Amino acid sequence: MKLKTGLAVKFGIGLILFVVGFGCGRGKDNVAEKGRRPNVVLILTDDQRWDALSVNGNPHLKTPHIDKLAAEGVNFKNYFCTTSLCSPSRASILSGQYAHAHGVVNNFTEYPANLPSFPSVLQKQGYETAYIGKWHMGEENDEPRPGFDYFVTHKGQGKYYDTEFNVNGAGAKPIKGYYTTVVSKLATDWLQKEHAKPFMLILGHKAPHSFYTPEPKYAQAFDNVRITYPESAFNLEDKPNWIAQRRPTWHGIYGPLFEWRKNFPDSSAAAVKDFQNMVQAYWATILSVDVSVGEIYRTLQEKGELDNTIFIFTSDNGLLNGEHGMVDKRTMHEPSIRIPLVIRYPGLTPADKPVEVNKQVLTLDIAPTILELCGAPALQNIHGQSFKNLVQGDTANWRTAWFYEYNYEKQFPYTPNVRGIRTDQWKYMHYPTGDGSPDKHLAELYHLAVDPGENKNLINDPKYAAKVAEMKNQLAQLLQNAGANPDKMPVDEGIKAELPEKSIR
């Protein structure tokens, strides 16, 4: 881990930018000084990849309010989801458990009502708790969930305009306006109330999930930015066949691009314009999210609660924007699993010094960290660990490896079962059939230290046979240690071309 002040810019996979000079606005009301329990505000976006922030080096997308959090707190350079899919990842954030343990292994399963979560623990500890926005565990349920005193959500994905929200169980009613603006107003209204107890708020944005619909004022924000398919979209000779098979599907660069392309599949050179329009719209939705972060920051500051609040900005999973010819997520490739995590809390980081964490931190670690910072009882039988000491400089006993799990979905048959391991320098991925028979797909091995873009698959290079064996054994051990033995998954029925049903897109 390194402490940085000043300005550092680097483009590429290792990019990071810390901006100082905003004025931290930190008072002397530190929780440790006054004995107050900290509040918690967690802002959760949907499908936001790590580099979709200017603080993380995006040269076009400017996010000054999120950058300010990093300048006054800690930015995690290597933060990952353990399943790159909305519902499983959200359940891991709440519970600190891998998907195979909490049971939410697809986008249609409820968070188990009897499974402890960090909000339920804080509620029992006297916190006033709220969830506002996209919940996305249980497609057809918009009723309040356990662990929250105030709960606002909707069925399914929600819409960028005029979503029907169920406000605290009163029944679904449309609220006119742009989604990001609506949920931000609901959140600031709740924060501005008098809270006799410490509070915990999770604000779930729809953005930047497809179908990407920016606010009109941002619709042309990136019109002058030329965007092309990444080179890796065409260099697939050493990749498993399923990756090339995915290109003309719902999750590939030659497919419909979430309806940005009307006639498909289209592999013509001119069709890159549709891809450019899609990425521009994706970025534009994040501009509204950044404004929302600024509004929450200002509300906390006006209430005198900013410095006594653990302010977290993160996402549920990453997104492939053309890498290896793919869009969407689900795979274990870096853009799919690497996500932003920025935390501002003077009780965690040295005053007025931005902190950069390079160690591998996971979605599993959010729950135990929040509970430790709040002085609340720890969750039992979890797979994550608090990163409080890590952020403060103690790197002893921190993980050097972790595993990834994704299960084939019949509703989205564009990605096989995935099991893999990532260490600080290496990644191994394979694709089990699910019925115990040998893998049908070629595995992948990457030396991330020299190939962060995962361009050269080393799996068949005899020089790395020992490394492959080592990674296989380590993956098996990690799975066993986490209770994934036997490792249950559906049968891989192959990559298919049909579009998913409209109701679940």
Where do we find the tokens 């980081």?
Answer: 349
Where do we find the tokens 């329990």?
Answer: 37
375: phi then psi, degrees, rounded to nearest 5 = 70, 30
User: How many beta carbons lie within 10 A of that of residue 234, not counting itself?
Assistant: 13
Radius of gyration, CA atoms only, the chain:
22
Helix, coil or strand: residue 267: coil
Determine contact, residues 417/490, Cβ cutoff 8 Å: yes
Quote the CA–CA distance of 288 and 181 in Å, as a whole number: 8
Query: Parallel, antiparallel, or unpaired for β 320-321 and 327-328?
Result: antiparallel
Q: Sheet containing 355-357: which strands, arranged edge to edge?
A: 2-3, 355-357, 74-76, 341-344, 309-315, 39-45, 199-204, 128-133, 150-153, 164-167, 172-174
In this predicted model, what pLDDT tens digit does every residue of 158-183 receive, in sequence order? 999 999 999 999 999 999 999 999 99
Q: For residue 40, what is the enclosing H or E element?
A: strand 39-45
Decide which of 34 and 470 is more confident: 470
In this predicted model, what pLDDT tens digit does every residue of 354-411 receive, in sequence order? 999 999 999 999 999 999 999 999 999 999 999 999 999 999 999 999 999 999 999 9
Cα 329 to chain centroid distance, Å, stands at 10
Q: Could you tell me which CATH class the domain 39-482 is placed in?
A: alpha beta
pLDDT at 10 over 50: no
Overall average pLDDT of the 51-74 stretch: 98
- Identify the CA nearest to 342 among candidates 26, 31, 55, 14: 55
Q: What six digits make up the tokens of 494?
A: 């192959």
Question: What pLDDT does residue 24 have?
Answer: 37
In this predicted model, what pLDDT tens digit does every residue of 461-483 receive, in sequence order? 999 999 999 999 999 999 999 99
Q: What six digits make up the tokens of 58?
A: 């995006």
Where do we find the tokens 């004025």?
Answer: 23
User: How many beta carbons lie within 10 A of that of residue 187, not counting itself?
Assistant: 24
Where do we find the tokens 């399943």?
Answer: 83
Q: Tell me what percent of the residues of the chain surpass a pLDDT of 70.
A: 93
DSSP string over 418-447: EEEEEESSEEEEE---SSSSPPSS--EEEE
pLDDT band at 131 (very low <50, low <70, confident <90, very high): very high
CA distances from 248 to 326, 416, 426, 496 (A): 9, 16, 30, 10
Quote the CA–CA distance of 98 and 80 in Å, as a whole number: 13
Quote the CA–CA distance of 369 and 384 in Å, as a whole number: 9
169 burial (CB, 10 Å; 0-12 / 13-18 / 19+) is exposed
DSSP string over 223-251: TT------GGGT--TTS-HHHHHHTTSTT
Question: What pLDDT does residue 9 have?
Answer: 29
Torsion angle of C-alpha atoms 131, 136, 137, 140, degrees rounded to 10: 110
Determine contact, residues 324/92, Cβ cutoff 8 Å: no
Determine contact, residues 289/207, Cβ cutoff 8 Å: yes
Q: What six digits make up the tokens of 497?
A: 């071309």
pLDDT at 191 over 80: yes
Residue 362 has, within 13 A of its CA and on its CB side, a CA count of 27
Where do we find the tokens 């699993």?
Answer: 337
pLDDT band at 351 (very low <50, low <70, confident <90, very high): low
- Domain boundary assignment for the chain: 39-482
Handedness of CA 199, 203, 204, 208 (dihedral sign): negative
11 burial (CB, 10 Å; 0-12 / 13-18 / 19+) is exposed
Q: What six digits make up the tokens of 254?
A: 């030659």
181: phi then psi, degrees, rounded to nearest 5 = -65, -40
Cα 371 to chain centroid distance, Å, stands at 20
pLDDT at 2 over 80: no
pLDDT at 459 over 60: yes
Q: What's the mean per-residue pLDDT of the chain?
A: 93
User: How many beta carbons lie within 10 A of that of residue 5, not counting itself?
Assistant: 12
Q: For residue 129, what is the enclosing H or E element?
A: strand 128-133
For residue 110, the 8-state DSSP code is: P
